[in-house]
Amino acid sequence: MIRKLTLTAGVFAAALNASVAFAETELTVYTAVEAEDLKRYAETFNADHPDIKINWVRDSTGVITAKLLAEKNNPQADVVWGLAATSLLLLKTEGMLEPYAPAGVDKLDPKFVDNSNPPTWVGMDAWVAAVCFNTVEGEKLGLPEPKSWKDLTNPVYKGHVVMPNPASSGTGFLDVSSWLQMFGQDEGWKFMDALHENISAYTHSGSKPCKMAAAGETPIGVSFAFRGAKSKAAGAPINIIVPEEGVGWDMEATGIIAGTSKLDAAKTLVDWSITQKANEMYNTGYAVVAMPGVAKPVEHFPENLIEKMIDNDFEFAANNRAAILEEWKKRYDSKSEPKG
């Protein structure tokens, strides 16, 4: 009798365990990946791991970063998947990331992996600055096609350039950080002072300038190459220009938020995020991905883009971010589009 009871209890417990194992785990994932890609990412992931449900919290890089920092003492996210490496470095300085070496991390290009051991974040792909130029509107206004960053300070472009606000947009920040690295502090700010004279608006999001250029609302939008390629594929009359001085870039990266109650599911997600399948998925939009040998050329993507990527100093970008933004706001904030 007693044995029977224990047996029943045992079976019951086993059944309970099984149901726990198959129960859906919900992960809150913060991201800055383009909204139209999120669904595809989640679907591809769920094909392999149907038991983990992803709840996306998406906004532009600056907002997601600020949100994470604001929630420092009460984190709401389990995983960050697809946020600028500069931002993940900031989170690292706050002790907010759980160190974890995902399975297969040695297959990635070491540039795409945090240098702590175990790493606190792993890279996915690189996204690269570019300028979208609307050829139809450019011709109407008699504007020559710009070839370099310095060209953009030419007074003929006055009121015709839109760029993202670095305080809220990751693309905006990598532009500013790359100018300061390429031209040096003094020259960099001087360049931005001159550029500021031509800017008609600083947008909140990094893709908006290119979307505005695609719609002819502005002839020139400082944005990123991937966005430009997409708009061009959608039929917009734009050229994607790679300024000849070199272009800023940042990695999209993944990390686990320390203190998450769903560590196992989070690890599963991060493990998956660096698989070859995941890298192929990133490659649909990004020409450079973390796993060497995976990337295939992306349609409408400018050819010389990869050579033009600057040697980015991420520590400089992360530790000077607050000071750079402070200075930037002091100089140019009045022209910023709301929510900058």
Site for other proteins in 91-110 (CB under 8 A): 92-95
**Closer of 163 and 291 to other proteins (Cβ):** 163
With CB under 8 A as the contact rule, the residue among 10, 11, 16, 36 that binds other proteins is 36
> Binding to other proteins by residue 319, rule CB under 8 A?
yes
Q: Which is nearer to other proteins, 157 or 291 (CB)?
A: 157
Contact flag: residue 167 with other proteins (CB under 8 A): yes
| Torsion angle in degrees (nearest 10) through CA of 41, 273, 262, 264 | 140
Burial of 58 (0-12, 13-18, 19+ CB in 10 A): middle
Closest CA to 285 of 208, 228, 209, 221: 228
Nearer to other proteins, 190 or 339 (CB): 339
Copy the structure tokens of residue 296: 């295939």
Query: Is 206 strand, coil or helix?
Result: coil
Among 43, 156, 234, 244, binds other proteins (CB under 8 A): 234
Helix (H) or strand (E) holding 55: strand 52-58
Does 230 participate in binding other proteins (rule CB under 8 A)?
A: no
Closest CA to 81 of 261, 273, 337: 273
Residue from 42, 104, 237, 313 in contact with other proteins (CB under 8 A): 237
Backbone dihedral angles phi then psi of residue 36, each to the nearest 5 degrees:
-70, -15
Q: What number of other Cβ atoms are within 10 A of residue 171's Cβ? A: 35
Task: Tell me how long the chain is.
Answer: 340
Q: Show the tokens assigned to 225.
A: 């190459």
Host H or E run for residue 74:
none
E strand or H helix at 257: strand 249-257
For residue 167, the minimal CB distance to other proteins (Å) is 6
The nearer residue to other proteins, 60 or 279, going by C-beta atoms, is 60
Residue ranges in 243-282 that form contacts with other proteins under rule CB under 8 A: none
Considering only residues 191 to 220 of the shown chain, the ones binding other proteins according to CB under 8 A are 200-201, 203-205, 207-212, 215-218
CB nearer to other proteins: give 17 or 116.
116
Which member of 39, 111, 158, 296 binds other proteins (CB under 8 A)? 39
CA 73/CA 96 separation, integer angstroms: 9
Residue 62 makes contact with other proteins by CB under 8 A: yes
Q: Shortest distance, CB of residue 102 to other proteins, whole angstroms?
A: 20
Q: Which stretch binds other proteins (CB under 8 A): 2-10, 41-49, 58-66, 247-255?
A: 58-66
Where does this chain touch other proteins (CB under 8 A) — which range of 149-157, 160-168, 261-269, 280-288? 160-168
User: From residue 128, how far is each of 170, 270, 318 by CA, in Å?
Assistant: 11, 23, 17
Gap between the Cα atoms of 40 and 295, Å rounded: 18
Which residues of the shown chain bind other proteins in the complex (CB under 8 A)? 28, 35-36, 39, 55-58, 60, 62-63, 66-67, 69-70, 73-74, 76, 89-90, 92-95, 116, 136-137, 165, 167-168, 200-201, 203-205, 207-212, 215-218, 234-237, 315, 318-323, 326, 329, 333-340
